[in-house]
Structure 1
Amino acid sequence: MNYEDNLLFKVAWFYYMENMTQQKISQQLNISRMKVVKYLEQARNQGIVQFKIKSDGEKRINIEQTLMHKFGLKHAYVIPTVDSNVNESIAKAAAQYIEGHITPNSYINVGYGDTVSRTINNLTFSLNVPVSLVTLSGGVSYYTSSIAGTGKIDPTRSNPQIYFVPSPLIVSSKEMAKGIWQEKSVREIINMAKLAHMTVVGIGAVDETATIFRNNMISRNELILLKMNGAVGDILSQFYDKNGNKIEFELHNRLISTQLNLLKNMRNVIGVAGGPSKIQAILGALQGGYLDALITDEATAESLVKLANE
């Protein structure tokens, strides 16, 4: 029964959320196409598929409950693992989660990274209530491209109000960073962030897939140095070790980004990340107590539970 419930949810997710064909689903799950048709009909009849997919597979709930218990999370949302583009799948789930937990005129803090950007894009197209976004660091103006396009596609939908930290993410010296932090316009945004209803952050791995590396903000040599110093991941471009402790790194002095100690005091901090390369980074973030909620995929969640039990 547990297996059947889990399979039923996966079929519904792949078909309705990932837009996979029935044939592709049958190949992915190694079941017949007729079984896929049967499960889709069952999902509709049981109300599992409504306007959203109801997340009630027993196996998945057990994983979610274990994550919450082991790491002191308020919420965990685990989705089926897909073969490719796990960031987009997690972003869809994150947008669905956020939409179910906000009220009109909420303020949402947004961090840095590919999955966060995708989450905002999905959320902007699905939200029916006005919200405002507050950036937690400088240098994230690329978010505006997806948000600005929404009104053109649906002129009846109001775009979120966005409050930017008016600076680059990384500056040339710690003296310049100190001066920027003292600017009134920057302090105003940081003070807004402290009062927001919800915060969404990405979790980066310490490898070539990291957004901060792909955007040429740190060099390959700096990446090696980070690994040598025990870094396993980053949140808001600040690197930490396996226990979640922020490591000493010169770049941190030149960052215009909300400090991790401030993040701990914010309300409803949601981490959005998944995939094999992110497991140690997510574990470190959980050990550091930076998150109130985690949205990830099933394979990643199972690995986290296994590591937590060791």
Structure 2
Amino acid sequence: MRAIEDPGRRVRGRPVEDSILEAAWLYYVEECNQSEIAEQLSVSRATVVNYLQQAREQGYIELRVDAAVFNRQQLSNTLRERFGLAAALVVPGREPSLRSVALAAARYCPDLIERGDILGISWGETIYEMAERMLPRPIADLTVVQMVGSMPSPYIFTSESCSTNVALKLSGRVVNLYAPAALSSPEAAAILREEPLIRQHFSLVDGIDKAIFAVGSMDAESHVVRSGIATIEDIAWYAERGAVGVLCGRFIDATGRHLEGPIDGRMIGVTPDKLSGLSAGVLVASGKDRAPAMRGAMSAGYVTHLVTDEPTAEAILGLDG
């Protein structure tokens, strides 16, 4: 594990933070190589690598993805034209990579968010990894809203952690949904929806103008099964009726249509139609098993901006054949 320098320490008579800033300036602005920087600072090359990493982690240096460049890719062009997207950022690579897609989204998504936005955040590993990799960037008067209720989960990427982490990185106000994602019965869910705190939350949800979300797959290891939202029998029921994946905890078909069924009455969270008509609906997802749901979400018009990888993009377009 890499050691983290204490900015309060002094190295060769100067604060470590000064050395971090100088190393970052020399590397990113003056384009010196690491050996040259090590010689100038009278430290080892390994220490320079450490300084540059800390400069990124502490927000002194911000790496951004130029979406305009990636939009010139053939896959990106085809996706944008086929589904009427504003942008499609396709990460290069021969294998699907959730972490590469999450990193690209972490660098790209903050550019889409503006002062005063109400930003909806869904749940999932990709969204959690994106939030973890975001660099600090204060956005004034930002409100981040949790769109799917909480749940007992074997994962660290709970609904509330996804929304909270995004808010922390962007210095926004977080409004979490203090309710389970799925209750034991429709009657219990109906009573909870009438609670003033829950009604207030969904009044705010109605004002969301931008959202970042993922989609889930339809198998026994899917997040909705392992988190207890749906059973294997539920999955089979929805699949028989044309479901191809999960969006915000709800099942959708190949056209993105919300298929209502056994679990919907018990759910606390947004329905897919809430993603229609947003100024930015950002789908962040990777995996060939998610391609049908991604295609459905784009076909339904929920998506204005896509972040994915080459194999997943190819799988989406291959569904047209």
Q: If the length of structure 1 is used for normalisation, what is the TM-score?
A: 0.72
> Quick check: which has more Rg, 1 or 2?
2
One-letter amino acid of the counterpart of residue 75, structure 2 = I
Q: What's the offset of the Cα at 1:143?
A: 5.1
Q: Secondary structure at the match of 2:112?
A: coil
Q: What's the offset of the Cα at 1:248?
A: 3.4
The answer to whether residue 188 in structure 2 is matched with residue 176 in structure 1 is yes
| Maintained 8 Å contact 1:195/1:266 | no
- Please give the per-residue CA displacement for 1:2-46, whole angstroms capped at 9, x wherever unaligned: xxxxxxxxxxxxxxxxxxxxxxxxxxxxxxxxxxxxxxxxxxxxx
* 2:47 aligned partner: none
Alignment partner for residue 252 of structure 2, among 240, 258, 261?
240
**Inter-CA distance 306–145: structure 2 relative to 1 (3 Å threshold):** closer
One-letter amino acid of the counterpart of residue 142, structure 1 = T
Q: What's the offset of the Cα at 1:221?
A: 2.3
Q: If the length of structure 2 is used for normalisation, what is the TM-score?
A: 0.70
* 1:267 aligned partner: 279
Distance 2:289 2:215 in 1: 11
Q: Secondary structure at the match of 1:232?
A: strand
The answer to whether residue 227 in structure 2 is matched with residue 215 in structure 1 is yes
**Inter-CA distance 143–59: structure 2 relative to 1 (3 Å threshold):** closer
| Maintained 8 Å contact 2:137/2:170 | no
* 1:91 aligned partner: 102
| Maintained 8 Å contact 2:160/2:176 | no
* 1:35 aligned partner: none
| Maintained 8 Å contact 1:80/1:298 | yes
One-letter amino acid of the counterpart of residue 137, structure 2 = L
**Inter-CA distance 96–144: structure 2 relative to 1 (3 Å threshold):** same
- Please give the per-residue CA displacement for 1:38-90, whole angstroms capped at 9, x wherever unaligned: xxxxxxxxxxxx93343566795232222121112222111123646x22221
Gapped regions of structure 2 (runs ≥ 5): 1-61, 152-156
**Inter-CA distance 243–172: structure 2 relative to 1 (3 Å threshold):** same
- Greater helix content: 1
Q: Secondary structure at the match of 1:133?
A: strand
Alignment partner for residue 318 of structure 2, among 303, 306, 310?
306
| Maintained 8 Å contact 1:206/1:226 | no
**Inter-CA distance 78–168: structure 2 relative to 1 (3 Å threshold):** same
**Inter-CA distance 258–222: structure 2 relative to 1 (3 Å threshold):** same
The answer to whether residue 319 in structure 2 is matched with residue 293 in structure 1 is no
Extract structure 1 runs of 4+ deviating beyond 6 A. Answer: 146-151
* 2:158 aligned partner: 142
Distance 2:189 2:77 in 1: 41
* 1:116 aligned partner: 127
User: Aligned-residue CA RMSD in angstroms?
Assistant: 2.9
Q: Secondary structure at the match of 1:100?
A: helix
One-letter amino acid of the counterpart of residue 178, structure 1 = A
